Amino acid sequence: MSEARDLLGRYLRQRAELGDAELVLERHSTADVRGLLSTHAPVTRTSLTAGLSPDPSRAVDAPAAAPAGRGYVRPGRPSAEALSVDSTRATGEGAGSGGRTIPTVTLGEMKPGVDAPARGATADEILALPVLDAVRDTALGCPRCGLAKTRRHVVFGEGDPSADVMVVGEAPGADEDASGRPFVGRAGKLLDLLLASVGSPRDSVYICNVLKCRPPGNRNPAPDEVEACSPYLLKQVELVRPKVILAFGNFAAHTLLGTDLSMGKLRGKDHAFRGVPVIPTYHPAALLRNPGWVRAVWDDLQRFRAIAARA
Ligand code: SF4
């Protein structure tokens, strides 16, 4: 029973993260849903899974169902108080509704982060996750640092899950926080151009950040936030298994290389993270502010191209 409740809670939290205002549950009564949110519900996980009916037009955007494989740890549950059930909505539209009254679950009160579980997965639990979808699934409800309270979306990362090249940036900005995607906006467009110029177009690489949630006001990541979020990045590297990593900006380079040397001292030298070559260079957002660094980034990308060709 608690597994079914966890499943429903996680699903609702994910839909809230994706911006859904409400969710129609076609095959369950209000009593079913209320029961699932209490401790004595008579609904099984199987029937719950079959009955959930998200908007088909957005189904491809929904996070993949969590695997039940060995080692997978489910994120904690949201508070039942954050979920409200409205049985007054009647519909005669939509496949299978049959004009009956169906329950809707309002997600509006599930403020991302605020209603996230208090504990979340531990670093060891994250590092034990077997597949990228499970890591993503866990990150989408992550409460491991204070940024959970201010983020709009968790920006987990995207791209070819078996890419030879991994791009690691610093943290989501306003555009990324709004869209849930890494490296969009002006800096993202510049990154796309830089990658294309060295024969590694965006759709051929895997892109993520050190932090998965936006620091308010685009301030620098705090050390405790980097530490809390590091297991996700470590696991992404382990599961994608890139042959070369492009580290854009100080925080990406410092996190991967365990140093606090300036970018000026890091770039142009050989580095590796767990045996994977790392090319540190300036962040595209910094490049937009300092056009004089274009030559340095160009040189770093040529170095990247040569190393990628040998890898
Ligand atoms: S920044 Fe990372 S550790 Fe902090 S809440 Fe977001 S996903 Fe969790």
Ligand 1 centroid to residue 114 C-alpha, Å: 13
Q: What pLDDT is attached to residue 200?
A: 96
* CATH architecture assigned to 144-310: 3-Layer(aba) Sandwich (3.40)
Q: How many CB atoms lie within 10 A of CB 50?
A: 11
Q: How far apart are CA 288 and CA 297, in angstroms?
A: 12
What pLDDT shows up at residue 40?
36
In the reported structure, the alpha carbon of residue 220 is separated from the centroid of ligand 1 by a whole-number distance in angstroms of 14
Average pLDDT over residues 297-306: 96
Whether 256 has a pLDDT exceeding 50, the answer reads yes
Summarize pLDDT for 268-287 with one digit per residue, the tens: 999 999 999 999 999 999 99
**Ligand 1: centre distance to CA 307 (Å):** 32
**Residue 66 vs residue 264, higher pLDDT:** 264
Q: What is the mean pLDDT of residues 43-51?
A: 27
Ligand 1 midpoint to CA 115 (Å): 14
**pLDDT for the residue 63:** 34
pLDDT of residue 244: 98
Phi-psi region of 105 (alpha: psi -120 to 50; beta: other; left: phi over 0): beta
pLDDT in tens, 97-151: 333 333 333 333 334 443 444 578 999 999 999 999 999 999 999 999 999 999 9
pLDDT band of residue 223 (cuts 50, 70, 90) is: very high
For residue 225, which atom of ligand 1 is closest to its CA? Answer: 4
**What pLDDT does 6 receive?**
56
Query: For ligand 1, atom 4, which residue shows the shortest CA distance?
Result: 145
User: How does the average pLDDT of the chain come out, rounded?
Assistant: 74
Which residues fall within 8 angstroms of residue 174, CB to CB, at 6 or more apart?
Answer: 185, 214, 218
Could you state, in order of their start, the residue ranges of all structural domains in the chain? 2-106, 144-310
| Atom of ligand 1 at shortest range from CA of 143 | 5
